[in-house]
Amino acid sequence: MQSVWTLLSWGPAGWLDDIWDGVQVTVLLALATFPIGLFLGFFIAIAKQSSEPSMRLAGNIYTTIFRGLPELVTLFIVYFGAQIVLQNIVHLLYADATVEINSFVSGMIALGFVSSSYSSEVFLSAFRAIPRGQYEGGYAIGLTKGQTTRLVVLPQLIRIALPGLANLWLILLKDTALVSAVGLPDILRQVGIASRVTKHAFLFYGVASLIYLLLAIVSSFGIHAIERAVGSHEAHR
């Protein structure tokens, strides 16, 4: 029987090479997905506080759907459903063509939708926390609506929303583990393969737990640095 140190080593006899590849995939997926969630969430929040009823309704329907569905179900719908839709569209143009959606892209889209539904609520709360007088003050000094939003509202919005968005980043980092269900070689899939081959499930899932915990700790340091930078910038305004 191989020793623990042999199993947790680099090279042909160990599994750290594969687990390290999984770490890179996990981090890249989270980094690629988070901006999508922020971008969509920001505009969904704008839609939900719009004076146009249809915009508010569309925003509320969007967040209700993606906050209500389990993340894994959303992932399967995107991975399998989008592939079927694209395949049918392509067949209209090229009868013999086939389309296959990459598991990384599917995970990015599905988690992006879920993340955006939650980030929209964070942004919406931040918008509502900014006094109406801030907008009126911007208009009073001659700023346009766009300039008021960019110069007056957005700096305050970022500061208010930052703690909530930081929590969403940590949640997203853990949710990337779901993408192993569609074959993406992330941390969870790699340790799953290692545990099945070596019969050391407790060892490898314990290693996965430590890796996710380490990623969360590193993220926390980064989040605190960003919060200090934003607070310092606000103090010097």
Query: Which pLDDT tens digit goes with each residue over 64-122?
Result: 999 999 999 999 999 988 878 777 777 777 766 666 778 999 999 999 999 999 999 99
Neighbours of 80 (CB within 10 A): 13
What's the mean pLDDT when you consider all of the chain?
87
Torsion, CA 135, CA 140, CA 141, CA 145, rounded to 10: 40
Spell out the domains of the chain, with CATH numbers in brackets. 4-235 (1.10.3720.10)
Sign of the four-CA dihedral 178, 23, 169, 195: positive
In whole angstroms, what is the distance from residue 28 CA to residue 10 CA? 22
Are the beta carbons of 45 and 120 closer than 8 angstroms? yes
pLDDT at 1 over 60: no
When pLDDT is averaged across residues 11-18 and rounded to a whole number, the result is 85
The pLDDT score that the predictor gives to residue 67 is: 93
When pLDDT is averaged across residues 123-150 and rounded to a whole number, the result is 79
When pLDDT is averaged across residues 207-227 and rounded to a whole number, the result is 93
Amino acid identity, position 236: H
| pLDDT band of 33, cuts 50, 70, 90 | very high
The pLDDT score that the predictor gives to residue 97 is: 65
The pLDDT score that the predictor gives to residue 235 is: 53
Give this prediction's pTM: 0.88
Are the beta carbons of 48 and 88 closer than 8 angstroms? no
